[in-house]
Structure 1
C-alpha cells in the first residue's frame, strides 16, 4: 500500500493529456480543475478496485480479473460503462491473441531455419553413437 496519499495520485501528465484530448480545441482548463479531475480519477480507480476486490474475495481468489471489474461497475451504478468496457476487453484479447500467434509463427520460422542445421548435426552424432555401439558389439565388449 502507498506510504503517502500523494502516492495514490495518477500522473499529472497523463491526466492533462486525457483532459486535452477529450475537450474541443481552444478550451482551457485551469490548474485547479486539472487537480480536481486528478483527485476524482484517483478516488474512482481506488473505489472500483475495492469493489472488484470484493468480488474476487467472494470467489476466494487473490487476483482481480476483468469480470470482477465489470461487476464492480454495475455495483457502482456505472452500468452504462459495461458495454464499452466489454468491447474494449474483446478488442484487447483479440489483439493479444494476434500478437501471440505472430510471435509463435516467428518462433517456428526461426526454429525451422535453425532446425535444419541442428538436424544434420544431430544425425551425425547419432551415427557416431551408433557406430560406437556397433564397434562395441563386434568386439564383444558391448555384451
Structure 2
C-alpha cells in the first residue's frame, strides 16, 4: 500500500498555500504548526476515506461516490461539512458542464466554418470544372 508513513502527508506547498488563503494577511504560521496541520489533514483524509469505504460496502458498492462521502461525514459526526461540500460539488459539476458545452459549441462553430470552407472548395472546383468545359482554342467542340 504505502512504503513510508510520510507518503501519506499532503504536499507542504499545498498546505502552506491553503493556510495562507485561510488566514488574514500579516499572520505567520511556524514551520512546526504547518507540519502539524498537514499531518492532521492527512489523518482526517485517511479517516474519511476509510469511513467512506465502509459506507460504500454497506450499500454493496464497489466504487466510492459522493453520496458515500456524505454518508461517511454524517457517520463520523461532521454533518456541518455536508452542506458546504454539496454546494461546492454542485458548483464543480456546473463548471464542468459549462466547459463541456462550450467545447461542444466551439466544435460546432469550427465544424460550421469547416463546412463553409469545404463548400467554397467544392464550389470553386465546380467553377473550375465548368471552365474546362469551354470550347478549346483549336476550334473543336467539347462533347458532354
Settle same-fold status: TM greater than 0.5: yes
Distance 1:100 1:114 in 2: 21
Alignment correspondent of 1:25:
25
Distance 2:61 2:11 in 1: 29
Larger Cα-atom Rg? 2
For structure 1, which segment, 73-82 or 21-30, has the greater mean C-alpha deviation from structure 2 after superposition? 21-30
Distance 1:104 1:88 in 2: 24
Q: Secondary structure at the match of 1:25?
A: coil
Distance 1:64 1:115 in 2: 44
> Structure 1 residue 105 and structure 2 residue 105: aligned?
yes
Structure 1: 5+ residue stretches without partners: 125-143
Distance 2:20 2:84 in 1: 21
Alignment correspondent of 1:90:
90
Distance 1:47 1:81 in 2: 15
Q: Secondary structure at the match of 1:28?
A: coil
RMSD of the TM alignment (CA)?
A: 2.0
TM-score (norm 2): 0.76
Alignment correspondent of 1:57:
57
> Structure 1 residue 77 and structure 2 residue 57: aligned?
no
Relative to its length, the structure with more helix (as a share) is 1
Q: Secondary structure at the match of 1:60?
A: coil
Deviation at 1:28, TM superposition (A): 2.0
Alignment correspondent of 1:134:
none
Between the two proteins, the alignment pairs up a number of residues equal to 122
